[in-house]
């Protein structure tokens, strides 16, 4: 038997970066412009950055994560995605379709620091949209 087969507990933590990453993949048409691992890499950076913005994680952790991902050749910013990405609204529409959404409430895997991921339910969609807008400018 697989423990936590439905990813409601500890296995859900493996989805760090996936909510943002899947939205990015959808907005690039699931094409070679952004491979799954690349989307997740950017998503991990975004999840850490969003955690920092919420006052949950130390800002220096995001820099460490970016440096590691760049060292192994992965993209780390929205600007690293070739072509147009679409609007923040289309990204938010994709995020709203994430499998972790429950009754319209957004759920993200966030962090309190490296190795300290946790499930955050009822995340404010306006805060996510504002965060994404800040990353696009």
All domains in the chain, ordered by first residue: 12-136 (1.20.1090.10)
pLDDT of residue 9: 60
CA angle 112, 131, 50 (to 5 degrees): 10
Angle, vertex CA 101, rays to CA 99 and CA 108, nearest 5? 90
Whether 62 and 54 have beta carbons less than 8 Å apart is answered as no
Question: In the prediction, which pLDDT does 4 show?
Answer: 43
pLDDT of 15-40, one tens digit each? 999 999 999 999 999 999 999 999 99
Q: In whole angstroms, give the CA distance from residue 124 to residue 87.
A: 18
The two three-digit tokens of residue 76, written as one number: 């780390």
pLDDT score recorded for residue 110:
96
| Global confidence as pTM | 0.91
Distance CA 95, CA 73 (A): 26
The predicted-structure confidence for 57-106, as pLDDT tens digits, reads as follows 999 999 999 999 999 999 999 999 999 898 999 999 999 998 888 888 99
């Amino acid at each position: 038997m697989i423990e936590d087969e439905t990813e409601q507990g500890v296995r859900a933590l493996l989805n760090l970066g996936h909510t943002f990453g899947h939205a990015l993949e959808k907005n690039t048409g699931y094409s070679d412009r952004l491979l799954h691992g690349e989307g997740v890499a950017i998503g991990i950076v975004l999840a850490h950055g969003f955690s920092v913005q919420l006052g949950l994680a130390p800002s220096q952790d995001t820099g460490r994560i970016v440096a590691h991902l760049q060292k192994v050749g992965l993209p780390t910013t929205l600007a690293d995605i070739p072509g147009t990405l679409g609007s923040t609204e289309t990204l938010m529409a994709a995020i709203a379709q994430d499998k972790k959404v429950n009754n319209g409430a957004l759920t993200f895997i966030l962090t309190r620091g490296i190795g300290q991921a946790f499930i955050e339910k009822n995340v404010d969609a306006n805060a996510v949209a504002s965060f994404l807008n800040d990353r696009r400018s």
